[in-house]
Amino acid sequence: MKYMLTYDLMESARNTNQWLGATARAFASYPMMSMAANPAMDWLKAWGEVTERTFERMVVKPDWNLPPVTCEKGRDHMVVIETVVSRPFGDLIHFTTPGRKPSKRRVLLVAPMSGHYATLLRKTVISLLPDCDVYITDWHNARDIPVSAGKFDVEDYTLYLVDFMRELGSDLHVIAVCQPVPLTLAATAYLAEQDPNAQPRSLTLIGGPVDPEANHTEVTDFGRSVTMGQLEQTMIQRVGFNYSGVGRLVYPGLLQLASFISMNLETHATAFQNQIIKVAKDEAGDFDKHNAFYDEYLAVMDMTGEFYLSTVERVFKGREIARNAFVVDGHKVDFGKITTVAVKIVEGENDDISAPGQCLAALPLLTGLPDEKKASHLEPGAGHYGIFAGASWRNNIRPLVLNFIDVNADPEKKPANKNTAA
């Protein structure tokens, strides 16, 4: 599979499907097709419109498109995106609101590098902006990074987080979502030993695989059932000639998307069938619920091959984080060295990606952290997406996280024990 030809064939298949959709829509839109009532043309046009949009979105990075923030005296402030740190594989960006009083809550959102862009956390950002000064990690699509930029694996990812935290200073609260949870914990432990003054005030870890063996899911079962050789041969490809990263070994976003969809194939098939019906009846819109979700869900990015393989080998198979045996740049990090950073765990009861218990496994590793600085919350009935962007996040989890941030804002103040269990 490690050939540019396979990558280009996959891209050609996507491009062909997009062309078929556009052709069907254009054919059914000819004026002569309206000379007589023909429902078949309405269905063909609807199918073409949905198909074209679906395959087109797979190679488009979504815009942040953030609405204005309403602040004091009902004034609306535009959100401006500024790059604080620019690196080959990812940037640290800042959402500023000119004219607004600086917020006391400075939050770094660590976005996942698991096949989607950082814009997957768009709703999370929107919900935090009125109350926080928000920064986020904006990871780059590996297909656009020249081979000359070098490698990028889990250790490099961790060191990027270390540098971002150092840049922002200690008056910071970090929220990590899904995949980066164990590496964010490792970055904090690294700072605890190497640069204690750069540690954040608090960590909120949401639905991440600290110990994948704590509660099995389809993701962990897959990781245990295949060998690293099988993964390298079947999942890793070289970027084709159409992109700046030509020749770079990557785990293609299209393969990741296929695995995402296969986990809930019936649900996705029903959603697209219903959308075609709505389009045929002229009941759909550019910003309806279906398009708002799938425009983001279908926009995928490639990961570097070494990052994907090292994540599977070291986090899932070797359980280096769970065993407190993770090494970064030749230095073995020790989670027991974290003694001042308050840590809160958030999990969803129905999370089928990082099942309950996988993220909670972080707390026993923090042997040097007082119990009053440890907290956990299990959200009843919430799935993976809901715990950071859905109704469960907005109505229940977000207020708890903001309260946790406020309680731990003053380093001299001893926080009350906020541990909860549903």
340 is a domain residue:
yes
Q: What is the DSSP letter of 107?
A: E
Assigned token pair, 283: 């009941």
Residue range of the domain that includes 179: 69-220+304-407
pTM for the model stands at: 0.90
50 lies in the same domain as 107 = no
Are residues 196 and 120 located together in one domain of the fold? yes
Q: E strands along 142-262, which residues?
A: 173-177, 202-206, 237-238, 249-251
Greater model confidence, 371 or 75 = 371
Interatomic CA distance for residues 357 and 210, integer angstroms: 9
140: Cα separation from own chain's centroid: 12
Structural domain contains residue 338: yes
**Angle CA(302)–CA(357)–CA(129) in degrees, nearest 5?**
60
- pLDDT for 303 equals 95
Tokens 């839109």 correspond to what residue? 29
> For position 168, which CATH number holds?
3.40.50.1820
Query: What is the C-alpha to C-alpha distance for residues 401 and 407, in angstroms, rounded to an integer?
Result: 10
With respect to residue 422, please indicate whether it lies within any of the assigned structural domains: no
Region of 330 on the Ramachandran plot (φ > 0 left; ψ -120 to 50 alpha; else beta)? left
Residues 172 and 309 in one domain: yes
Report angle CA 390, 393, 396 to the nearest 5 degrees. Answer: 130
Residue 231 domain-assigned (yes or no)? no
Q: Choose one of 285, 301, 317: the last residue of a domain.
A: 301
Say if residue 133 is in the same domain as residue 24. no
Asked whether 92 and 138 are in contact (CB, 8 A), the reply is yes
Q: Are residues 206 and 86 in the same domain?
A: yes
Q: Could you tell me if 206 and 314 lie in one domain? A: yes
- Taking the C-alpha atoms of residue 175 and residue 164, their distance in angstroms, rounded to an integer, is 13
- Which range has the worst mean pLDDT, 98-102, 111-115, 269-273, 334-338? 98-102
- Does 333 reside within a domain? yes
Same domain, 183 and 87: yes
Instruction: Specify if 234 maps to a domain.
Output: no
pLDDT at residue 135, rounded to an integer: 97
- Whether 242 is in a domain gets the answer no
CA-to-CA distance for 137 and 7, rounded, in angstroms? 27
- Predicted confidence band at 4 (pLDDT cuts at 50, 70, 90)? low
Assigned domain for 244 exists: no
Asked if pLDDT for residue 417 goes beyond 50, the answer is no
> pLDDT category, 256, cuts 50, 70, 90?
confident
Q: Could you tell me which residues come within 8 angstroms of residue 392 by beta carbon, excluding any fewer than 6 positions away?
A: 348, 379, 381, 382, 386
Query: Under a CB-based contact definition with an 8 Å cutoff, are residues 25 and 279 in contact?
Result: no
Examine the domain organization and report whether 146 and 82 are in the same domain. yes
**Confidence class of residue 358 from pLDDT cuts 50, 70 and 90?**
very high
| pLDDT higher than threshold 90 for residue 160 | yes
- DSSP class of residue 120 equals G
Kindly tell me the sign of the dihedral angle through the C-alpha atoms of 110, 199, 325, 158: positive
401 and 319 share one domain: yes
Same domain for 136 and 82, yes or no, is yes
Q: Mean pLDDT over residues 163-169, rounded?
A: 94
Among 240, 274, 301, identify where a domain stops.
301
The reply to whether 339 and 314 lie within a common domain is: yes
Q: How far is CA 334 from the centre of its chain?
A: 26
pLDDT, residue 64, reads: 92
33 and 100 belong to one structural domain: no
Percent above pLDDT 70 for the chain? 96
Instruction: Tally the domains of the chain.
Output: 2
